[in-house]
Amino acid sequence: MATATLPSLDEVWHWLSQVPDPEIPVLSLVDLGIVREVAWDDDTLVVTVTPTYSGCPATGIINLDIERELNARGVAKVRLERRLSPPWTTDWMSAEGREKLRAYGIAPPVDDTAADGRSLALARRLASGSNLTVACPRCGSAQTEKVSQFGSTACKASYRCLSCLEPFDYFKCI
Amino acid sequence: MATAEIAVDRAALFEFLTRMGDNTLILGHRVSEWCGHAPVLEEDIALANTALDLIGQTQLWLGLAGEVEGKGRNADALAFLRDAAAFRNCLLVERPNGDFGQTLMRQFLFDAWHHVMLTALTKSEDPRVAEIAAKAVKEAAYHLERSSDLVIRLGDGTDESHARMQRALDDMWSYVGELFIADDADRAVAEAGIAPDPASLKPEWEAIVSEVLREATLKAPTSAYVHKGGRRGVHTEHLGYILADMQFLQRAYPGATW
Ligand SMILES: [Zn+2]
């Protein structure tokens, strides 16, 4: 493709916005906010990706999916780069992505509620038995309780709705 | 990406990085031993996810250690092809899992140190260290929140759970101290501004631990005796069994991939 014109970066972003996350397929990699940058280095497309959690087992699959998608779109040379800093945060999840999560049955992150390791606040919170309010993605009730800090994947916690009684995943703020 | 090399003894930096990576590797392996065996499904999943975070952090620390060493060893080579005497994890993380309470107590005592350490490392003069810490500290905050919560609930629980948590605390206590004792490698990286002096972390660690133990109605042992050696490669017999299990495949079938 030496003489062909390279696809525009807007086009590349659009393609990537159609690549689903392997574990939460209603979200695209762009919705999730893990594609940090796309750029041309001569005729090589450089895609910079940040991991969600350090040990996320989907990282390898995500890289493969990106490469496969771009190859299928006619980009022959793709280079994936990992960027750790700044670390991924759920703040980067698009509004559209959050709505897709809710519709899928996963409560989206409640901003500014990430664990911060401050023990005083923690002990008080535990002593008072209160917790952050996570609305049930099925019935919308705010009467829910945390079952476990970690749900089906590291990025989610397990919750239970006290109104409709359904268990559900909550995408933790980080 | 060019990184300005900080004036520090390469061997001391390698030592520091393997201490960080070996702590998370060995604890991650220990915690993963629970997979399929935890008392309830939710805790089984939580333990597996904690292990996964720790193993992921290991890849970052040992990956950087291999780069700094410059002998062509990557994170896998360091994890699977070193012998016990080359491991630099503290003795606490190689303690046997025991019952669920002992596993949680070990996790809590480690998480409290880990969170304080990683918070300090986010200000490291070495940007490669700072960026790994900035990533890991967010995960460690969730680990600490979970282990604190469960130590409080079980400590301030039934007579049986209280007694078990007190026993676990008594058993684990003397293995924590070595995390706060500096040697030449610690002093070298501290002087270069790469990592804090280990002793400087103690007041904050004590504040977290004493507060959680108070809520948990548990009493910290008064004995000042400290088991040490892990950070310089002198381990308990338990590490050998962990490595035999963890390294078997790569030792028996060198270079095996799937
Ligand atoms: Zn509901």
| Structural domains in chain B plus CATH codes | 7-218+225-252 (1.20.1260.10)
Q: Examine residue A2 and state whether it is found in any structural domain, yes or no.
A: no
Q: Are B25 and A130 contacting, i.e. CB atoms less than 8 angstroms apart?
A: no
Whether residues A150 and B45 touch (CB distance < 8 A) is answered with yes
Residues A129 and A75 in one domain: no
Boundaries of domain holding A138: 93-171
Q: Find out whether A61 and A68 touch, Cβ atoms under 8 Å.
A: no
Asked if B237 has any chain A CB less than 8 Å from its own CB, the reply is no
**Residue pLDDT, tens place only, B181-210:** 999 999 999 999 999 999 999 999 999 999
Do A138 and A156 sit in the same domain of this protein? yes
Is B193 at the interface with chain A, CB within 8 A? no
Give me A44's structure tokens.
């090589």
Alpha-carbon distance of A43 to A65, in angstroms, equals: 20
The last residue of one of the domains, among A88, A118, A152, is: A88
Taking phi over 0 as left and psi of -120 to 50 as alpha, with beta for the rest, A165 belongs to left
- Report the relative pairing of strands A167-171 and A156-161 from DSSP bridges: antiparallel
Q: What are the chain A neighbours of B212 within 8 Å (beta carbons)?
A: 119, 123
Residue A120, pLDDT above cutoff 90: no
| Distance (Å) of CA B143 to CA A127, A133, A154, B183 | 18, 20, 11, 28
B195/B139 Cα distance (integer angstroms):
19
User: Which residue among B53, B141, B148 places its CB closest to the CB of A53?
Assistant: B53
pLDDT at A132 (0 to 100): 77
pLDDT attached to residue A122: 58
Query: How buried is residue A52: exposed, middle or buried, by Cβ count under 10 Å (0-12/13-18/19+)?
Result: buried
Q: For B161, what's the count of Cα atoms within 13 Å in the CB-facing half-sphere?
A: 14
CATH number assigned to the domain comprising residue A64: 3.30.300.130
B131–A127: do the CB atoms touch at under 8 Å?
no
Dist. CA A46–CA A12, nearest whole Å: 11
What is the percent of chain B with per-residue pLDDT over 90, rounded to a whole number?
93
* Pair A79, A138 in one domain: no
A42 and A71 housed in the same domain: yes
Q: What is the number of CB-based contacts under 8 A between chain A and chain B?
A: 109
pLDDT of residue B253: 95
What confidence score (pLDDT) does residue B5 get? 55
Mark yes or no for CB contact B142/A54 under 8 Å.
no
A102 lies in some domain: yes
Interatomic CA distance for residues A63 and B212, integer angstroms: 41
What confidence score (pLDDT) does residue B1 get? Answer: 41
Query: Can you give the pTM of this predicted structure?
Result: 0.92
CB contact under 8 A, B140 and A116: no
Q: Which two tokens stand for residue B64?
A: 């950087």
- Whether residues A160 and A122 fall in one domain: yes
Residues A101 and A34 in one domain: no
Point out the domain boundary residue: A88, A113, A140: A88
Which position has the higher pLDDT, A174 or B203? Answer: B203
Q: What is the pLDDT of residue A130?
A: 46
What single string gives the DSSP state of each residue in chain B?
---PPPSS-HHHHHHHHHHHHHHHHHHHHHHHTTTTTSSSHHHHHHHHHHHHHHHHHHHHHHHHHHHHHTSS--HHHHHHS--GGG----HHHHS---SHHHHHHHHHHHHHHHHHHHHHHTT-SSHHHHHHHHHHHHHHHHHHHHHHHHHHHHHTS-HHHHHHHHHHHHHHGGGTGGGG---HHHHHHHHTTSS--GGGGHHHHHHHHHHHHHHTT------------GGGT---HHHHHHHHHHHHHHHHSTT---
Cβ distance B54 to A85 less than 8 Å, yes or no, reads no
> pLDDT tens digits for A126-149?
544 445 789 999 999 999 998 888
Report d(CA A173, CA B239) in Å as an integer: 35
Last residue of a domain, one of A67, A88, A109: A88
CA distance A106 to A156: 9
Which are the contacts of A52, defined by CB distance < 8 A and separation ≥ 6? A32, A34, A58, A88, A155
Residues A80 and A100 both lie in one domain: no
Look at chain A and report how many structural domains it folds into.
Answer: 2
Going from the C-alpha of A93 to that of each of B21, B135, B141, the distances in angstroms are 30, 17, 20
pLDDT of residue B216: 96
* pLDDT recorded at residue A112: 80
pLDDT tens-digit map of A45-103: 999 999 999 988 888 899 999 999 999 999 999 999 999 999 999 999 989 899 999 99
The band of A119, judged by pLDDT with boundaries at 50, 70 and 90, is low
Is residue A51 domain-resident?
yes
Q: Is B151:B105 a contact under the CB 8 Å cutoff? A: yes
A51 and A102 in a common domain: no
Contacts of B134 in chain A (CB under 8 A): 84-87
Are residues A141 and A159 both part of a single domain? yes
Tokens 């270079």, residue located: B255
Q: What is the residue type of B130?
A: A
Strand, helix or coil for residue A49? strand
Task: Tell me which chain A residues have a C-beta less than 8 angstroms from the C-beta of B144.
Answer: 115, 117, 119, 122
- C-alpha–C-alpha distance, residues B89 and B175, integer Å: 12
Intervals of chain B under pLDDT 70: 1-7
What ipTM was predicted for this assembly? Answer: 0.87
Comparing CB atoms, the residue among A84, A122, A149 nearest residue B46 is A149
Residue B247 is predicted with a pLDDT of 97
Residues of A with CB under 8 A from a CB of B: 51, 53-57, 84-89, 114-117, 119-120, 122-123, 126-127, 147-154, 158, 172, 174
Considering the domain architecture, whether residues A11 and A81 belong to the same structural domain is answered as yes
A148 found inside a domain: yes
**Do A67 and A43 share a structural domain?**
yes
Confirm whether A137 is domain-assigned: yes
CA distance linking residue B179 with residue A135, whole number of Å: 41
A37 and A107 part of one domain: no
pLDDT 10s digits, B71-90: 999 999 999 999 999 999 99
